[in-house]
Amino acid sequence: MRTILIEDEPLARDELRYHVVRAGLDVIAETGHVGEAEQLVRTLQPDLVFLDIELIDGSGLDVAKRLQSMPHPPAILFVTAYDTHALEAFELNAYDYILKPYDPSRISRAIEKIMRKPALKTPRIERLAVESGEQLKLLSPQDVDYIVAESGKTKLVTRSESYPSNDTLQELERKLSGHRFLRVHRSYLVNLAAIEAIEPWFNGAYTIKIQQIDVPVSRTYVKVLKEALGI
């Protein structure tokens, strides 16, 4: 289960990560800031978010409210040192509410409860249907290097060919959420395994090399890309 940790206390986040990874969850990103939190969740589309209520620059409850507007919002498990927000947290459809200091058995029970929810299992699309002449061709997601949206049209690019798609970039991003694809620009969705190099550009932006093509990485997505690549 793809998980993001939003906790502004470094030691508490380290402890939380330890228990979450030990339970078999995949921690794909973490942060302690409100702005970064919302961006990470909307970009990476995790299944589960551990969300601290009292963050250094805002309220986790406000973050949760905004995330409810997503087409497929993640499950939220609140973590906090205070028990005064429980009612409001559950009104936001939180799956659980864990008090600090962390009790390992309490975290384990919460994760077990969440893992039993079949709706939280990320569906994996094993084939993408694209038109190729008069045929309907089925592509394996791992064969797609990147997807680009230009002039209102979406194109899937493999090592040997490119194919038009009737899906929008946002729709393909949702379909591929079970695979290692990442939005790096408003017009590009890339297969992380296809990235050959990363180069600084200007004003904090980057470009990535895929098939010797320069794919832009906007500043908004730089931190997310680094998190996903572990750099």
For the chain, 231 residues long, give each residue's pLDDT as a single digit of tens.
Answer: 789 999 999 999 999 988 888 877 778 889 999 988 988 898 888 889 999 988 888 888 999 988 888 877 888 999 888 777 666 766 777 778 888 888 888 888 888 877 766 555 555 678 998 988 888 899 999 999 999 998 889 999 999 999 999 888 878 887 887 788 888 888 999 999 999 999 887 777 889 999 989 999 988 788 778 877 877
Q: Kindly list the strands in the beta sheet with 144-150, ordered across the sheet, starting from the edge strand earlier in the chain.
A: 162-165, 153-158, 144-150, 188-191, 181-185
3 within 8 A of 49, measured Cβ to Cβ: yes
CA of 36: how far to CAs of 27, 43, 60, in Å? 16, 10, 12
- Residue whose pair of structure tokens reads 């379909």 in the numeric block: 175
Q: Give yes or no for a contact between 124 and 175, defined as CB atoms under 8 angstroms apart.
A: no
**What is the chain's percent helix, strand, coil content, to nearest 5?**
35, 35, 30
Report how far residue 210's alpha carbon sits from residue 193's, in angstroms, rounded to the nearest whole number: 10
Which residue, 26, 17, 39, 76, is CA-closest to 180? Answer: 26
d(CA 41, CA 219): 16
Number of CB atoms found within 10 A of residue 195's CB: 19
Distances in Å between the alpha carbon of 93 and those of 58, 60, 117, 191? 20, 14, 14, 32
Taking Cα atoms as reference points, which of 78, 72, 80, 161 lies closest to residue 120?
Answer: 72
Q: What is the pTM of this model?
A: 0.56
Peptide bond into 101 cis (omega under 30): yes
Residue 117's pLDDT is 67
Report the CATH fold assignment for 2-120.
Rossmann fold (3.40.50)
Parse the chain into domains and list their residue ranges.
2-120, 128-229
The answer to whether 17 and 30 have CB atoms below 8 angstroms apart is yes
Among 205, 154, 145, smallest CA distance to 180 is for 145
The CATH fold assigned to 128-229 is OB fold (Dihydrolipoamide Acetyltransferase, E2P) (2.40.50)
With 0-12 / 13-18 / 19 or more C-beta atoms within 10 angstroms meaning exposed / middle / buried, residue 205 is: middle
